[in-house]
Amino acid sequence: MPLRVAIPDMVSPSYFPAIAAVELGFFAKEGLDAAVELIFPVTRTYEELREGRIAFAGGAAHAALYAFPDWRGCQLLCALSRNMYWFLVVRKDLGARRGDLSALKGLRVGAAPGPVDGLKRMLAESGIDPEREVRIGPVPGSAGAGVSFGMAAANALERGAIDAFWANGMAAEVAVRAGTGSLVVDARRGDGPSGSQDYTFAALVASQERIDAAPETAAAAVRAVVGAQGALKADPSLASRAARRLFPPAELALIDELVRRDSQYYEPLISQASVRALNAFARSAGLLSREPAYEEVVAAQSRA
C-alpha cells in the first residue's frame, strides 16, 4: 500500500514540491511507493497524521499545533517552501490599495482554518481588530471545494458571495487575471507588517512515532522533496508534467508560471531563526504555551 502524502490544497504552488516529489518519481527513486492526496482543511490534515492514517502531511507549519499541542508528537521534516505564502485579494471595484489592510474594515473575508491565523495576526499588528472590525469566515461552498479551497474562494469572490479572500497563489492569480480581484497583500514578499512573512511556512511533517520507527523512511522523504525542489528550480516547465494527473485544465495552464515565480522559495532547510519566528507567532495565536528547543521542532534530517 502506498505511503499517503496529504496536503490541504492541491493546486497551491507552495505545496507543489510535495506533489512533484511523488508525481515526478522522486519518492520512487528513494525506494518509496507514495501517493499524494487532498485532505482539507489543514487542521484535519494534521489530525489524520496524528491518528496514523497518513504517512506525511504537507501544510502550514504552525497548524500542526492544532493536532500536536506544544509540538509533542510530531516534527517538521523540511520546508516545502519558505515564508508565509497566502495572498489577500479584494474585490476590484472596491479600489483597495496594495498593502492597505484597513481596506478590509467591514468586509466579508473568506479564509480557511489554519491560514486564517496569519491574517488575523497581520490585522492585529496593523491596529485592526480582526474579530470586531472585519467579518472573517468560511468561504461559501468550500466544504466541497474539490481540489482547492483557494479556487472556491476565487469563485465566491466572482459571484459576490464574499468581498475578499486570503488564500493561495493560484486563487490570487485567477482572480486578478479575471479582473474580479485586486492583489492587496502578498505575504511572502513582505507586503504585511514587519516580520509577518516569517509567521509560518509550508512544511513536510511526520509524527514522532513514524520518525522513531522508520528514520530511514523520513530521511528518504526529505531527499525526495529536495530532489523535486531542485528539479523545479532548474526547469519550472516540469510543473505541468507533475500536475497533469491532478489539476483541472485551467489551473494546469497556470502552474508552470506560478512555480517559476515561487521556485526561489523552494528551500528545504529550516533555520533556528525561522523556528523562533514560527514559535513566537504560534504563541501569539494561542497555539503554543512554552518555548520549545529547535531540536524538538525540527527533525534531524533538516536541521540547519
Note the pLDDT of residue 141. Answer: 75
pLDDT tens digit sequence for 34-92: 999 999 999 999 999 999 999 999 999 999 999 999 999 999 999 999 999 999 999 99
**CATH tag for 87-197 (out of 3.40.190.10, 3.40.50.2000, 3.40.50.720, 3.30.70.1140):** 3.40.190.10
pLDDT reading at 164 higher than 70: yes
pLDDT tens digit sequence for 258-289: 999 999 999 999 999 999 999 999 999 999 99
Averaged pLDDT, 145-171: 89
pLDDT reading at 147 higher than 70: no
Sheet holding 34-38, edge to edge: 34-38, 3-7, 56-60, 202-207, 74-81
What sign has the CA pseudo-torsion 128, 170, 273, 98?
Answer: negative
pLDDT reading at 128 higher than 90: yes
Residue with cell 499541542: 69
pLDDT tens digit sequence for 114-123: 999 999 999 9
Note the pLDDT of residue 149. Answer: 83
Domain 3-82+201-302 has CATH 3.40.190.10: yes
Which residues are CB-neighbours of 75 under 8 A, at least 6 positions away?
A: 205, 206, 208, 211, 296, 297, 298, 299
Q: Could you give the count of Cα atoms lying within 13 Å of 103 in the half-sphere of its Cβ?
A: 21
Note the pLDDT of residue 140. Answer: 85
Structural domain boundaries of the chain? 3-82+201-302, 87-197
pLDDT tens digit sequence for 35-50: 999 999 999 999 999 9
pLDDT tens digit sequence for 234-248: 999 999 999 999 999
E strand or H helix at 35: strand 34-38
Residue with cell 468581498: 163
Note the pLDDT of residue 304. Answer: 64
The pLDDT mean for the chain works out to 96
